[in-house]
Amino acid sequence: MQTAKNIFSYRKFWAHRFGVAPVLPMNRDEMEQLGWDACDIILVTGDAYIDHPSFGMALIGRLLETQGFRVGIISQPNWKNVEDFRKLGKPNLFFGVTGGNMDSMVNRYTADKKIRSNDAYTPNGEAGKRPDRAVNVYSHRCREAYKNIPIIIGGIEASLRRIAHYDYWSDKVRKSVLLDSKADLLVYGNAERQIVEIAHRLAAGEAIQDLSFIRGTVHFCKQIPEDWAVKDSTEIDRPGKLQPPQDPYQEQPACEQKPSGENVIQFDRFARQQQRAQTVIRLPEYERVKDDPVLYAHASRVMHGETNPGNARALLQQHGSRQIWVNPPPIPLTTAEMDGVYDLPYSRVPHREYGDANVPAFEMIQHSVNIMRGCFGGCTFCSITEHEGRIIQSRSEDSIIREIENIRDTSPNFTGHISDLGGPTANMYRLACKDPKIESACRKPSCVFPGICPNLNTDHTPLIKLYRRARKLTGIKKIFIASGLRYDLAVESPEYVKELVTHHVGGYLKIAPEHTETGPLSKMMKPGMGTYDRFKQLFDKYSKEAGKEQYLIPYFIAAHPGTTDKDMLNLALWLKRNGFRADQVQAFLPSPMSIATAMYHSEKDTLKKVSRKAENISIPKGIKQRRLHKAFLRYHDPENWPLLRDALKSMGRADLIGNGKKHLVPSFQPKGTGLKYEKKQFVKATKARPFKTKYTGEQRVKSRPTIGKKFKKR
């Protein structure tokens, strides 16, 4: 893995003499109290401002502050006019714009495209405090407020839209958000390394247009540098005939030009690496991928193949008359840098402007501690790997302990309970490839699928040691583990499972098998149910030894690409056999840039080389089928019984309808239930009945204005 400049080694900007702000200012009065006449950087966010490291803008803001810059926050501005974007004045360096901790479209709409009734990142959970596609709207308003000030976009919303991407809500492929937002530069992933470099270079007088080739950024490219080779993406993953699987550790030639004559020699390893680093891959242009789902799937496969910081190449994509240049991902932070980021002087509370208002997301995480970031699981429906990368970045044990002590000593409503020690996952802390050289060369999308890679270190000892040390702290009564547990890794360390079950489960432990059937699991890149069964055996064994009555709560996804009605039926039967009744169910939501979204859009298995002639996979797209798949997960709900009865009959499984223990759905219907479905079926049956017209005798279809009203032939 390459090395990078330590983010805390830069010479501080002159404004560091103002010192550390109690909280980053959100209005002019707070700026004046700090003695500021202007902000150097203004961060615009769709979230409430919580000065806590779990909130991206607080973390980036405090990091830039420690570099010596004066940083202001504009939180959830009124986007319908420009006034809120001027309330802190003109920034000296740039606007930093993000939609917030969540993508604004995911935040506002359900998987069924219905508007959510609340927003966890807003005071009192109030909905409607941010616009759709917030990054675009905020950037336009910043440009309107101050035309010549650079605009840099980032956060998960920008990160997952860095190239042409399928947009579920409009059902079309949209351009890179860099064009739609009219911003100057895009930073993706956890952006500490690149945003610090950008801030110092702008402060030194460089123009925003000159900040190119910074890892973890996307910028416009007028001309490809002469010393760079261009490789067409179709030479890497040809969207035609299927090819044998590629060795993930095999180095590919960096350039399309073949040596000849005296140059027919073997390059040494260093020369090949240098040549590869100076190669950019040209993706199919936006105008082609927007109308060609298979070509879109091809572009997605190539992009996901260039995500390892150790070997990723730059990407180039044409959008009309402009082209965007996507630099390789940033070098992961070292443990010392991670410690420095989380040791910054956060107040760990919401801004005083919100008074006594409750911010639901803050209530959930205020006493949690982030111990690592990144995920090498590679689940196709998840955005963590695309955003944070698959290289695990871990904090030191001492830094984590300091944060726990800080929570204990300063949080006004701390009761002795730490709600979580985790991150994107609960148990990837300090796990990594056994050989850094293999890690740098690897091109596998997952370290744990279809099985755990033999090169992966699965030793949970550092995590066990951390748990034990944290539990011994004075004033700490209980530490819960709430982050998602990779049980396929946990079963490799029975000692860890025992530690977890004995001390850190509060009666229930949530895990995510996601499905029971091989078809959908293979498209998710998730382990089979045999691994779940092994984990459950360990969980039950150690719970019994500890004298505790504890239960697993499994989570499942409905309507994921590759899922058939039969798969969902089998899952429902498994749930019934095991006595599970899900209160809430999750339907697949095609988030921008994910592998599963490429499957959803193209109807091809993009985990293999994409072929136009390849058989289409099952994609539950229609609203009726998606509702059916969700209904199977809630087979016990009487409201779903009419729908399930009709489905079981059409599937030839009417034998599952009855009042015995082996039946899935009862034959009776409780009074006052199932009316919504029956009403829809009645409307459907009576809505469009053909009849003869009065004049010509031709058949035509007319909608019934009133349910149940009889119409006569005219």
Give this prediction's pTM. 0.89
Phi, psi of 97 (to 5 degrees): -120, 135
Residue 572: C-alpha distances to residues 324, 564, 622 (Å): 46, 13, 20
Q: Does residue 261 register a pLDDT over 50?
A: no
Flag whether 487 is in a domain.
Answer: no
The answer to whether residue 385 sits within a structural domain is no
pLDDT in tens, 203-217: 999 999 999 999 999
The C-alpha torsion from 459 through 461 and 462 to 465, rounded to 10°, is 170
Give 246's pLDDT tier (boundaries 50, 70, 90): very low
Domain interval for residue 700:
685-714
pLDDT band at 691 (very low <50, low <70, confident <90, very high): very low
Residue 281 resides in a domain: no
What CATH number is given to the structural domain containing 107?
3.40.50.280
Q: Any idea how long the chain is? A: 714
615, two tokens: 């058989």
pLDDT of residue 274: 64
CA atoms of 353 and 87, how far apart (whole Å): 15
First to last CA, the chain: 79
Confirm whether 390 is domain-assigned: no
Q: In the chain, what is the greatest distance between 2 CA atoms, to the nearest angstrom?
A: 90
Q: Decide if pLDDT at 693 tops 80.
A: no
**CA dihedral for 130, 132, 136, 137, sign (positive or negative):** negative
pLDDT single digits (tens) 327-351: 999 999 999 999 999 999 999 999 9
pLDDT tens by residue, 397-438: 999 999 999 999 999 899 999 999 999 999 999 999 999 999
How large is the angle between the packed helices 595-602 and 293-304, nearest 10 degrees?
170
Structural domain contains residue 441 = no
Assess whether pLDDT exceeds 70 at residue 159. Answer: yes
Total domain count for the chain?
2
Look up tokens 């959803």; give the residue. 600
| Better-scored residue on pLDDT, 243 or 51 | 51
Percent of the chain exceeding pLDDT 90 equals: 83
Q: Indicate whether 630 belongs to any domain.
A: no
The pLDDT score that the predictor gives to residue 247 is 46
pLDDT at 63: 98
User: Of the candidates 330, 361, 392, which is a domain's last residue?
Assistant: 361
pLDDT computed for residue 583 by the predictor:
79
Is residue 369 within 8 Å of 414, Cβ to Cβ? no
The answer to whether residue 251 sits within a structural domain is: no
Q: Point out the domain boundary residue: 361, 394, 417.
A: 361
Whether the CA torsion 301, 304, 310, 316 is positive or negative: it is positive
Query: Does residue 143 fall inside a structural domain?
Result: yes
The whole-angstrom separation of Cα 488 and Cα 213 is 38
Give the model confidence (pLDDT) of 85-121 as tens digits: 999 999 999 999 999 999 999 999 999 999 999 999 9
Select from 331, 361, 391 the last residue of a domain. Answer: 361
Separation between Cα atoms, residue 705 and residue 714, nearest integer Å: 16
